[in-house]
Structure 1
Amino acid sequence: MQYSHEDENLSLTRFESMLKTNDILFFDSNEFENIIHHYLENGKIALAKRAIKLGQEQHPSSINLSLFQVEILVIENKFVEADEILEKLHQLEPNNEEVFIQKANVLSKQDLHQKAIHTLLHAIDLSSTPEDNSDLYALVGMEFLFLDDFQNAIIYFKKCIETDMTDYGALHNIVYCYDFLNKNSEAIEYLNWFIDSNPYCEVAWHQLGRQYFAIKDYEKANAAFDFAIISDDTFVGAYIEKGKVLEKLKLYHQAIENYKITLALDEPTSFALLRIGHCYEKLGNDDLAVQFFKKTIDDDALLDKGWLAITKFYMKRLNYQKALYYIKSAVNIDGDNVLYWKLYATINKRLNFLEEAEHGYKRSLELGNYELDTWLERSDILISLGEYEIALKNLKEALEFYPENAEIEYRLAGLHFKVSEESKGRFHLKNALFLNSEYSFIISELFPNVEQMPIVKAIILESKKASN
């Protein structure tokens, strides 16, 4: 028996009215199934459970209502109880494919993916309508994805396409698998095969364009995105991708046109606004570049690429005050973004705001930016500020990440001599000279007084004689 939306709405209204009044009304099993399905789709688990309970009281022999009960138990991670019900249902209807599908679902949720695959294949064997098995093939494909078995996943997603050429989810998954395996040529071959049968499928053209873009064949990528747009001239994703291709071809005016089409078709996206800004910057139109960078951060204040773009724009033009203004705003919005802090430190250093710069490098390290230059920049600023003990601590931590690094060793040597720890200074200076004697200028640059010490001169001279 088929139900229309009107029937479903009437059933829902009656059911919810019954819950409010505590009256007991009768619903046939199909009505209960539609009610439960509605609640599950809308995430109303408590109401779905109420409907299942009442449904089973009125229709105790309904297999489908029991399957809904299993679905709820799986959501609640009650796998043992779910299995018990499925075992009873299997005894009642040993050839019911839905029982096996739910059994596979239970196994999958417990990460027993190989067993789930075996169970789904049994469900496929039981299917009375092999031509409608697209959903089952998709489930098998997903289980193979969970196992990182991309080759077998491709086989089953292709079976989905063979039974349903409109299953674009399967098409996306096939391309995803090929991408993961770095098999762009195979993806292109498959997409061209698909397009031969579906010449106006914008999704396939779009995916084909992305594959050509990945192998840097920008002319073919451009043509593929054109066909995607011909197939659907409101396809925002195709205009975006075409814009990216045109940027690679240095056709910035045309790229801007495509990005602007997306702004007219849909709500402006921060990505499109940012790319327009970059295009105008490449064209030397600084006013419009800044205008679109500002629109980007207004549209999405959490998009770090927007803040980084406008900050770097001003840095390139040596306008460090403006750059500092924007990076400070970015840090205030997201104080845990390591890219912001690194840039904050760099700009403050250029402006000779050493304490602020040191704080920026310190935060970068705290947030996991363990690049060598972060350690070195911070230590050099600490040396300039006369914070020798903190600088030593910083460099010793750096040495754990970069053992046997000459740049660190020279700094450690200079600092130890600076704080009158001569034996440690000699140790690190000899290490540094052994690792790379050409970096000895670090001592003269950072520690000019240390360089004049007789012991330091003697060690450097001895190293030069040894290398000659």
Structure 2
Amino acid sequence: MALESNEKSNQPINKFESMLKTDDVYFFDAEDFEDIIHHYLNNGKIALAKKAIKIGLQQHPASIELKLLEVEVLVFENHLDLAENYLDALQVLDSTNEEIFIQRANIYSKKDNHEAAVVLLNKALALSENSFDIHSLLGMEYLFMDDFKLAKESFMRCVSFDEQDYSSLYNVIYCFEFLEEYDGAIHYLNDYLDRNPYCEVAWHQLGKQYFTKKMYSEALTAYDFAIISDDTFIGAYFEKGKVLEKMGKYKDAIENYETTIQMEDPTSHAYLRIGKCHEKLDNDEMAKYYYYHTVHEDPLLDKGWLAITDFYYRRKNHQKALYYINKALNIDGENSHYWKKCAQINTALGKFDQADFAYKQSVELGNYELRTWLGWADVALRNQDIPGAIHILSQGLEFYPESAEIKFKTAGFQLEINDLINARISLIDALKLDFAKLQLFSDQFPQYADTDWVKNIVSKVVRRSR
């Protein structure tokens, strides 16, 4: 009876492993050794690969291919100098072997000399009859160099060689996304799908591009086709749920998220999305149920703790909100937005010292949002540190020099300390930037808004603007 192809391919491996268990020595063709070594390398069994190389070279000491596999292992284990010495000797024997240039390129890549690696890979490309793998390696080198245009072209060539090469397809789309060429990605994927209409991976990626462009109906259609192509494709159900959320179809979104849970072990991310949908539907108890399931499933998922925090914060249960934001900060204390949320909660609780510290942490970690500067300045005022509040606003002004809100607030604080000269300058600047926001000044500083001093400044600015 004829053997199946996978049985044939496993025969040398089974024979080799049988030999290792005994004291017998079996003979293998050099090609069989190559297959055995590739099998072990592809499965991460480096020790067995090295043993096969050693025995293979004992039986076939002149085999350049086996010696090149030995070099590959040396490069993998960072024995770069020894690998280069081996390659020098091999190049004398066979100067037109593209694998020599590929391994030299790998060595340069390991040394972070990606430009030299590209030169060598192009030499290998000129010598190679089968250039698929070389284009893939070139694509990775271009990614290391942040040359996403050339990386994209290399991975496109890989896909043109093998349209089932989904790894390269993902890399093509990654390059499009990094270059923010979403229309280009959509065109490329539609062209690909004309040739491969039942490729769930391509439909899934197309849906993501439409989602990025807020073309939600088109995204929904793409995910539906992904599911038609493979009704077990969990990622398509999950992404479809996100689209339905954006469209306000929360019940349908929940249904899709629940499908992912039924098909595979539940994930914290699915629980989190279901919780948010229930909250949108005002199903508070169900929202809490799924939020708590989120953090139970993955206690290190800071977004889960943040969701619970926001849930209680929106319901003005600030004490519980503080408890849960501290949970999030214990997991990710470098997250500037969590510190800002912590500051807002402490402000609501009247804990202004803690709020001041949290705002400081948020800014130091890179949160330079306008609301952060304004909120922090208000906290400084509550702490009776008006000079500090003015300094905070001056820092914010560096990021938002055209902000009338900062100028109006600064003017009010300067009036608080009777700095009339600077208050006048700040108020005039604010009125020139956005006269309509004078109401913000009136709301926060009513004790000054109706004074003749302020009214005179306002009327002068009005006259000059006519």
SS at structure 2 position matched to 1:345? helix
The count of corresponding residues between Structure 1 and Structure 2 is 444
Matched, 1:304 2:302: yes
- Describe the superposition over 1:404-423 as per-residue Cα deviations: whole angstroms up to 9, x where unpaired: 95257437635765xxxxxx
Q: State the alpha-carbon separation in 1 of the partners of residues 208 and 388 from structure 2.
A: 50
Matched, 1:9 2:17: yes
Matched, 1:429 2:423: yes
SS at structure 2 position matched to 1:284? coil
Equivalent residue number for residue 235 of structure 2:
237
**Contact 1:117 / 1:143 at 8 angstroms: preserved in 2?**
yes
Change (3 A) 1:360 1:187: closer
Is the deviation greater in 255-264 or in 333-342? Answer: 333-342
Q: Structure 2: which amino acid aligns with 1:183?
A: E
Matched, 1:207 2:201: no
Change (3 A) 1:8 1:183: farther
Equivalent residue number for residue 278 of structure 2:
280
Equivalent residue number for residue 251 of structure 1:
249
Equivalent residue number for residue 196 of structure 1:
194
Spell out the pairing of 1:312-461 with structure 2 (5 A cutoff): 312-387=310-385, 406=407, 409-410=410-411, 413=414, 425=419, 428-436=422-430
Q: Structure 2: which amino acid aligns with 1:293?
A: Y
Q: State the alpha-carbon separation in 1 of the partners of residues 277 and 162 from structure 2.
A: 41
Q: State the alpha-carbon separation in 2 of the partners of residues 249 and 115 from structure 1.
A: 50
Name the Cα RMSD after superposition: 4.0
- Describe the superposition over 1:92-116 as per-residue Cα deviations: whole angstroms up to 9, x where unpaired: 1122221122122223334444543
Spell out the pairing of 1:113-262 with structure 2 (5 A cutoff): 113-128=114-129, 130=130, 133-262=131-260
Instruction: Report the alpha carbon displacement of residue 261 of structure 1 after superposing the two structures with TM.
Output: 0.7
Change (3 A) 1:446 1:26: farther
- Describe the superposition over 1:318-337 as per-residue Cα deviations: whole angstroms up to 9, x where unpaired: 33233233223323343333
- Describe the superposition over 1:202-260 as per-residue Cα deviations: whole angstroms up to 9, x where unpaired: 11221222233233332332222122112221111011111122223322222111110
**Is there any run of 5+ residues in structure 1 with no aligned partner, and where?**
19-23, 418-424, 452-456
Instruction: Report the alpha carbon displacement of residue 280 of structure 1 after superposing the two structures with TM.
Output: 1.4
**Contact 1:410 / 1:443 at 8 angstroms: preserved in 2?**
no
Instruction: Report the alpha carbon displacement of residue 346 of structure 1 after superposing the two structures with TM.
Output: 0.8
Equivalent residue number for residue 100 of structure 2:
99
Change (3 A) 1:399 1:103: same
Is the deviation greater in 333-342 or in 391-400? Answer: 391-400
**Contact 2:390 / 2:414 at 8 angstroms: preserved in 1?**
no
**Contact 2:250 / 2:277 at 8 angstroms: preserved in 1?**
yes
Is the deviation greater in 196-205 or in 149-158? Answer: 149-158
Instruction: Report the alpha carbon displacement of residue 176 of structure 1 after superposing the two structures with TM.
Output: 2.2
**Contact 1:74 / 1:82 at 8 angstroms: preserved in 2?**
yes
Equivalent residue number for residue 422 of structure 1:
none
Spell out the pairing of 1:14-163 with structure 2 (5 A cutoff): 60-75=61-76, 79-128=80-129, 130=130, 133-163=131-161
What TM-score results when the alignment is normalised by the length of structure 2? 0.79
Instruction: Report the alpha carbon displacement of residue 263 of structure 1 after superposing the two structures with TM.
Output: 0.5
SS at structure 2 position matched to 1:436? helix
Q: Structure 2: which amino acid aligns with 1:314?
A: Y
Q: State the alpha-carbon separation in 2 of the partners of residues 371 and 433 from structure 1.
A: 22
Q: State the alpha-carbon separation in 2 of the partners of residues 12 and 71 from structure 1.
A: 23
Change (3 A) 1:178 1:445: closer
Q: State the alpha-carbon separation in 2 of the partners of residues 211 and 375 from structure 1.
A: 35
Instruction: Report the alpha carbon displacement of residue 47 of structure 1 after superposing the two structures with TM.
Output: 7.8
**Contact 2:19 / 2:26 at 8 angstroms: preserved in 1?**
no
Change (3 A) 1:210 1:13: farther
- Describe the superposition over 1:391-442 as per-residue Cα deviations: whole angstroms up to 9, x where unpaired: 576566656656795257437635765xxxxxxx456435423422677986
Q: Structure 2: which amino acid aligns with 1:432?
A: S
- Describe the superposition over 1:133-152 as per-residue Cα deviations: whole angstroms up to 9, x where unpaired: 42222223333334444444
Instruction: Report the alpha carbon displacement of residue 360 of structure 1 after superposing the two structures with TM.
Output: 2.2
Q: Structure 1: which amino acid aligns with 2:302?
A: D
**Contact 1:280 / 1:286 at 8 angstroms: preserved in 2?**
yes
Q: Structure 2: which amino acid aligns with 1:97?
A: E
